Chains A and B, each alone.
Chain A
Amino acid sequence: MRFLMWRRHQEAQLDEEVQSHLDLAIQDRIDRGETPEEAAVAARREFGNVLLIKETARDMWGWTPIQEFWQDLGYAQRALRRAPAFTVAAVLTLALGIGANTAMFSIVRAVVLRPLPFADPDRLVAVRELDLRSATPRPASVSWPNFLDWRAQTQTLEAIAGHRAGRFTVTGLGRPLNVGGAVVSANLFSTLGVAPITGRSFHDDEDRPGSNVVVISEEFRRTHLGEVADPVGTALAINGHSLTIVGVMPPGFAFPLSSPSPELWLTMAEDARVENRSDTPMTAQRGAHFIQVVGRLRPDVSVMQAHAELERMMAGLAKAFPADNAGRSAEVVPQLDAIVGSARRPLFLLLASVVCVLLIACVNLANLMTARTSVVKVERRQRKSAVTIASPIVA
């Protein structure tokens, strides 16, 4: 903007200066005895091309790059129109390169760059057991008793919740449905910082066996309970048990990230259920490693500190329960890393490769253009030599 104003000022100055030059020249001529009309014409003629001066000055001020850009654009347009086949090839080459890049970048952005859609996603961490018995420590699922001990002891995490994905059979809504869902600890939603849009979240004591509550997704409500005015309080037959809907999560909420997105959330009471009285429920087995754990760091705690604490706690648990916990440790990683995890590197690799594809497309295009210009040049040379050969005969 300031540049534009400076330019306008500069142009006005030049105009005025040219006028002043002409005035002086005319005055001189009148002094020498010419009539004002003669003087004006002569002075202007002597002065030369006013436009040319302005153009040269404009060049110097550096406006022309922009104007030249427009001229180039016009030229390109004409050139492209003259060679439609070349244009199609060029456009296709570039379109493919750019399209691949856009698609790949969209994925990378959605997966790697966009934060998790939860409150303070930076403070969300994944807590995992580590199996130390293999050559390289392998992340593993957590057993419910271990999780409960962590939750009771932790000083670094302000909340810690468990979950496992699963599939559930829902009957009583017309045809039986098989839907994706999750069995979660009652505090999962509060840990993530997401509340249901209608109804309530789970109460803490609803992890205990015998409680029969379920939270559904907005998508599930819309698809299967469309005609029910208020689904909260409705009974749903899930895996043959009657559960009461207590809440509906907001649309788009999906945790754990599984495919298909979970539509039902049941409490741990589901896994505490046994078919026979003599069975030990999964939630009572310290050796049953079946849940994933998400934690929320205290504001002043780093991932490293939480990691150190979990390692320490797990060392204690390994000593206390060697049968189930020997050779096991624990680790804390940012939740985003845990989700994206191993996918990050291949994704960036793919992105890099499509960038290369675009570069190759550009190189190809440049080759094509070089080839074209040399062909045109040869043609022109041939035409020219034809003229040269022909001219003596004409002469």
Chain B
Amino acid sequence: MGLPRHKNRIELLQGTLDLLILEQLRWTPSHGYGISLAIRAQSRDILRVDAGSLYPALHRLERQGLVRAQWEISDRKQRTRVYRLTPRGRKHLTGERSKWEQLSLAMANVLNRNQSNET
């Protein structure tokens, strides 16, 4: 078919972007560009976070006090705005993560049952 690869991309579910961003910041602080690269790499190029969604989301999370931003100079001498998880963000992440796990388990159960009925 020769479809461009990005056609295989999956639209992010509402609310999952926050979860992805917070998860990226769980271990190491990062700037917006780094977050988008990491999400893309870890999802094996399936999830591409659009800058148009990423930055508004980051600013929203900042306003909610879940992340904290700071201007820093990167190791390549570039000024970047680095985001860190706040304690509240960490707590929020734990909650959202378990919600997501329940949801995906539930989805899997429903889908698998249908599959077994068909076969």
Binding site for B on A (CB under 8 A): 13-14, 16-18, 20-21, 23-25, 27, 47-49, 52-53, 56-57, 59-61
Contacts and interface: CB of A to CB of B under 8 A. Distances in A.
A21 B59 contact: no
B7 interface: no
B56 interface: yes
16 contacts: A14-B59, A17-B32, A18-B55, A20-B33, A20-B79, A23-B78, A24-B33, A24-B78, A47-B51, A48-B52, A52-B52, A53-B52, A53-B56, A56-B53, A60-B56, A61-B59
B56 A17 contact: no
Contacts of B78: 20, 23-24, 27
Contact of B51 (A27, A48, A59): A48
A13 B32 CA distance: 13
A17 B80 CA distance: 7
B101 interface: no
A60 B31 contact: no
Contacts of B76: 27
A375 B76 CA distance: 65
Contacts of A18: 51, 55
Interface residues of B, number: 19
A18 B32 CA distance: 9
A20 B50 contact: no
A60 B79 contact: no
Contacts of B79: 16, 20
The 4 closest A-B pairs by CB, nearest first: A56-B56, A24-B33, A21-B33, A17-B81
Contacts of B50: 48
Given A20-B31, A20-B78, A21-B33, 5 more contacts: A17-B55, A20-B80, A20-B81, A21-B55, A53-B56
Contacts, number: 54
Interface of B: 31-34, 50-53, 55-56, 59-60, 63, 74, 76, 78-81
Which applies to chain A's interface (DSSP): helix, strand, loop or mixed?
helix
A56 B52 contact: yes
Contacts of B33: 20-21, 24-25
A130 to B, nearest CB: 68
Nearest to A59: B56
A53 B32 CA distance: 13
Contacts of A60: 56, 59-60, 63
A21 B56 contact: no
Contacts of A13: 81
Contact of B52 (A20, A23, A49, A61): A49
Nearest to A53: B52
Q: Of residues B32, B51, B76, which shows the largest number of chain A Cβ atoms within 10 Å of its Cβ? A: B51
